[in-house]
Structure 1
Amino acid sequence: MKTKMSALALAVPFTLTALTGCGMTDDNSDGPPLAGTSTSRDVSDAVEKLSSGIYDLIGVRGKASDSRPGVMNCSDRDAKKYFRVFHPWSFHPESKGDLDVAMERLRTELPKNGWKITTYGPDTSKNKNMNLVADNEAKKAGVKIIKMAKGDPPMLSVDVVSGCYQVPDGEEVERF
């Protein structure tokens, strides 16, 4: 399990850089889009709420990992003033067959709940894991979901990430 978690931890930064939230204000075309002004605690709460909403859309019995959001830098922006929040978690269905049901539900239900799917299809790995990437313009967030059917146990890997926020004047980014 340590090896799988370490591999997942290494994959998260690469995944998060791909999720940018298409419709956000962007004054820096090379980095993630600017989503507004807020504290990292408030954005963390919002990202956890988005993760809970995605969990509810799965619609099959299973268990989600117990993870908390973290704070990361916005590329090419002052790390004392700008930040993004990420929340990686996984879902293990009670039955292997429910993994397909869960992924299909997410594919159909996310768009009904404010998400625009930008990518859906197998990746280039030898397992051909199914990938779903979606942006929620109103919530200034993105999600990448990977169906890992050949894993032991099979699971969905879910990475939710916010756009780039600036802390209010006179404050610094709180890291956790």
Structure 2
Amino acid sequence: MATITMTVNGSEVSAEAEGRTLLSQYLREGLGMTGTHVGCDTSQCGACVVHVNGQAVKSCTMFAAEAAGAEVTTVEGMANADGSLGVIQQAFQDHHGLQCGFCTPGMVMSAAALLKDNPKPTEAEIRDYLEGNICRCTGYQNIVRAIMAASGQEVPGAIAAE
């Protein structure tokens, strides 16, 4: 066991972890930050996406020790300072971009990474970027609408299903 220290959502945190502890497990079990979901443990579903030093990563593919000293942002860190929903989170709520909600944290974090790199993505660019995130409930249409709304673009009445 070793003590691993990193900055999570702007606060320096430390917790004990074994060398084999994944970042997702460290966040959930070591720090009690259960917003990061674990859906597959194989890097297929994207429910565990967080940002490490500004880059979107699947936290089930990274050891916690690799993030020692890093800046980590989780879905909890996407909220406004007063605790209200952030822009992307609010867009997901407003445009029904969630159903069961299991994939939502990863979708929100992936959307934030996309909008950082491409502030006004097209529908096709959004769909392409989300290829690594699986949603079993929504059919993605409202997720795409939510991301378009979060980017400040007009949201079409109907988005083509794929």
Smaller-chain TM-score range? under 0.3
> More helix by proportion, 1 or 2?
2
Q: TM-score of the superposition, structure 2-length normalised?
A: 0.26
TM-score (norm 1): 0.24
Structure with greater strand share of residues: 1
